[in-house]
A and B are shown apart, each in its own frame.
Chain A
Amino acid sequence: MTDWTVSRRLVLAGSGALAATPAWAQGTVRRGGTLQVAYNTEQRNLNSAMVASNAVFLVASKIIEPLAEMTYDGSGLSPRLATGWEASADGLSVTFQLRRGVKWHDGRDFTSADVQYSALEVWRRLSNFGRIVFRDLVGVDTPDTHTAVLRFSRPTPAQLIWNALPDLTAVLPRHLYEGTDVAQNPRNQAPIGTGPFRLGENRAGQFVVLDRNPDYWDSPKPYLDRIVFRVMPDKGAIAAAHEAGELQLSCFSSVPLADLKRLAGVPALEVVNRGYEGSTYHALIELNLRNPILADVRVRRAIHHALDLPRVVRDVFDGHGTVGTGPVPTTSRLFYTADTPRYGFDVARANALLDEAGHRRGANGMRFSLKLVPAPWFDYTVLLGEYLRQALRQVGIDCQPQRFDAPGHLQAIYRDHQFDIATGSPVFRNDPAISTTILYRTGTPPGVPWSNQYGYASQAMDQLLDQAAGELDPARRVAHYHRFQQLAMEDLPVIPAVEFTFLTVASRRLRNHSNLPRWAMSNWADLWLDS
């Protein structure tokens, strides 16, 4: 196939089979056709190098490509714009071999200068999570047109860089961005990339059309002629459009939970829960440790004991979830450890712990009252708040719910700390250092969403996280993060209650879907429609 080489020293578990041969025979693929996809969170900025969010990726990942994509097998990475990658032993540089013969949609050649520009001007400056991963990036050398060497001022774990490749390394065309204000560049609304599809008509509020890129480097892909993303803000209408056969695909659980069972019974449709493992969410219970009652770890453990999480998975998540065991989800094969303290459903134990902490039941049977703020992000986070209110009542904790819309919630929890107990939904981005450890480390100023605004401060935790952040050896780095999961569950500043991903509703005519861990955010070059 190609001449790419992967440094097996650094990429763990490299059991070959990276370029997995397709399971279908080439002869059976039906080319052509238009795929109609529901698009219920319309985005104006389609620059995925700047905004690494699922809603942007859904459309932009077909147009703009990263250096590598996540896979189920082998090292977990498959090459895209990079064909090989290797890190220096001192952790101060990583070298990427870039794919040859790749053209931008406007006909120009893709070269190392594009990677250099994207890394220096976009990833490390403007990307919300790139700013964390590429914090110490000081320069990018381009010894030839198809080699890029990223240089760091401080040793940076190569493992972290590899894990960030799928989400945080989308490459932008230098010739269209250089010398402009990237954030205001009109190409953010009409991106030019190297991907299998080109942006066609984009009518705000109605639809976005992607047309087949006949010059795609991975010929004969893509198989589809056209993808139409139809802007449909109402989930009920998406379910109806599936039933009427007007849509062949909707991703990210964009039909009402109540309609899923009915849709699963429609012979022409299938409901799939694969293809989202690369962006696993936690339904998180956040506690404000500034409240002296919650500062006592016994109270926090009692709250965990009071929760019947298997029941929550069954009733709130309709079975589409897993009981959480720590800050890293089970879907992370590399970092997950099951060896963490557990606090199973045990009302008697919860009551005993609360008594021990000195919170006796009052005349009305209640011990104390908490302000409960459920997050508006998902049906799940709202329903989990409702469950908390009921479950904590059983052990004598009275919850007073208060609800905000999305910006209001951010301000109440992460800036003003106006809560005692809240629900949230952080996403695990393939490496704890990207968006998970920030939930536990001290030092994040107020106002940063999805960070430790819980008043949790532990020297042991901070030291452990700093040690892990500077650890170059992949095995030792993993060991540090195992210890991190254990300490997080001992101290229990937040309760990772349930892990969940999303569901896809697809027409049975659709082939090759849900075949990657971040499939909805991948390029869909191999997707095809059967007759």
Chain B
Amino acid sequence: MAGSPGTGSRGLGSFLAAAWPVIRRRLLLALPVLLLVACGTFGLLHLAPGDAVDAMVIAGGGGDAALASELRARYGLDQPLLVQLSLYLLRLLQFDFGVSPVHNRPVLALITERLPISLLLMLTATAFAVSLGVVLGVSAAAAAGRWRDRLILAAALVIYAMPSFWVGLMLILVFAVTLGWLPVGGFETAASGLSGMARVLDIARHLILPTLALALLFVSVHLRLMRAGMLDLAGADFVRMARAKGVPRRRVLWAHLARNAVLPVIAMVGVQASTLLGGAVVIESVFSLPGLGRLAYDSVVARDLATLMGLVVVSAVIVLTVTLVVDLVMAALDPRVRLR
């Protein structure tokens, strides 16, 4: 298998042992990044006019000045900005995310109850987008220039051009309203009393449409990356060599071409992790899913600084983790990639 990258000779254990210094350094580097992110969010949110008490007063339909100043004192919003920021950072160092004045609950509890929903959606959407994108990309590349290729590319372009909330509403209209096959929204049937496998199936049924809506955009990105990568490599020496050796066509396609062309797709997954976290807000709204994106959106509207800061820190941790994992996967797949 000349030129074909592989890790078969190395075990996972030895690979991780070799990568450990890199992992450790990345983790240390993540700390200043997190600090910068926290300060930046704090500053940005304070540039926006109005604070959490304003938002509370709006929710309550009005209120007098004394009530508002009592509330500001209660949540420490009457303190100078620097004091508020340093108090927050101090608590953050002790892994204390504080209490949300809007929800009147610990921020960590708010985030942990929504995190699984967001992660689940992120995972299913990524898995779906990557697998379908790769298959379609290979299939298009194999038929480059012929009608199948053109059809796939045209479909990808159309999907790429459609805003995801519109795709979401159309999916609802077709599959929930007209055909009645799937539920309109929600994470599971409200107060269904289901448990065990029945509940898992119920949740899966609810996740089909949002996963589709979220993943379709990325399918078109992945398939184009995949197709371009395949065509780039089609003339490479190791491919011609394989063909000359008489390796079956299908095997050349998948074992030689696809294995190399998939690397940019995996790099893209790392980049998209942040997009998926932030961009899911629209899908979460359309499908009534209580994920992190919607919590973030609601927190901005309510000027809920505590929750928003907590979310930003958690999101930064997720993005940094995904980036690290993607780098490790890349290194594992391709020995030419050096971890630094």
Chain A positions near chain B (C-beta within 8 angstroms): 36, 43-45, 51-56, 126, 128-129, 131-132, 183-184, 188-189, 200-201, 204-207, 209, 226, 228, 230-234, 236-237, 240-241, 243-244, 246, 404-412, 427, 435, 444-445, 447-450
Contact = CB atoms under 8 A, between A and B. Distances in A.
Contacts of A132: 64
A43 B56 CA distance: 11
18 contacts: A44-B105, A131-B64, A205-B294, A206-B186, A206-B290, A240-B173, A240-B176, A241-B185, A244-B180, A406-B55, A407-B50, A407-B51, A407-B58, A409-B50, A410-B50, A445-B65, A448-B65, A449-B57
Contacts of B302: 407
A381 to B, nearest CB: 13
Given A44-B104, A237-B285, A237-B288, 12 more contacts: A44-B103, A131-B63, A200-B191, A201-B191, A204-B110, A204-B290, A206-B188, A237-B287, A240-B173, A240-B177, A406-B301, A407-B55
A234 B62 contact: no
A45 B101 CA distance: 11
Interface string B278-311: 0000000111101000110000011100000000
A412 B190 contact: no
Nearest to B117: A205
Interface string B88-108: 000000000000001111000
Given A236-B169, A405-B301, A406-B301, A230 B288 contact: yes
Nearest to A200: B191
Given A189-B104, A204-B290, A408-B48, A128 B57 contact: yes
A205 B184 contact: no
Contacts of B186: 206-207, 230
Given A204-B113, A232-B185, A448-B64, A240 B169 contact: yes
A285 B172 CA distance: 39
Tier of interface size on chain B: 35 or more
A54 B188 CA distance: 27
B338 to A, nearest CB: 44
B102 A44 contact: yes
Contacts of B57: 128, 410, 449
B146 interface: no
B73 to A, nearest CB: 12
A206 B190 contact: yes
B176 A128 contact: no
Contact of B285 (A43, A54, A233): A233
Contacts of B290: 204-206, 231
B50 A408 contact: yes
Contacts of B63: 128, 131, 448-449
Nearest to A52: B61
B183 interface: yes
B177 A410 contact: no
Contact of B295 (A205, A230, A444): A205
Contacts of B62: 128-129, 435, 448-450
Q: 7 closest Cβ contacts across the A-B interface?
A: A205-B290, A407-B50, A128-B63, A207-B190, A408-B49, A407-B54, A53-B61
Nearest to A201: B191
Contacts of B303: 407
A445 B191 CA distance: 47
A128 B67 contact: yes
A234 B176 contact: no
Interface string B175-218: 01100100111111011000000000000000000000000000
A232 B288 contact: yes
A372 B172 CA distance: 38
B59 interface: yes
B191 A412 contact: no
Contacts of A445: 65
A45 B55 CA distance: 13
Contacts of B59: 43, 51, 53, 55
B265 to A, nearest CB: 31
Contacts of A228: 190-191
Nearest to B103: A44
B60 interface: yes
B294 A233 contact: yes
A410 B49 CA distance: 9
A204 B285 CA distance: 14
B58 A449 contact: yes
Contacts of B103: 44, 204
Contacts of A188: 104
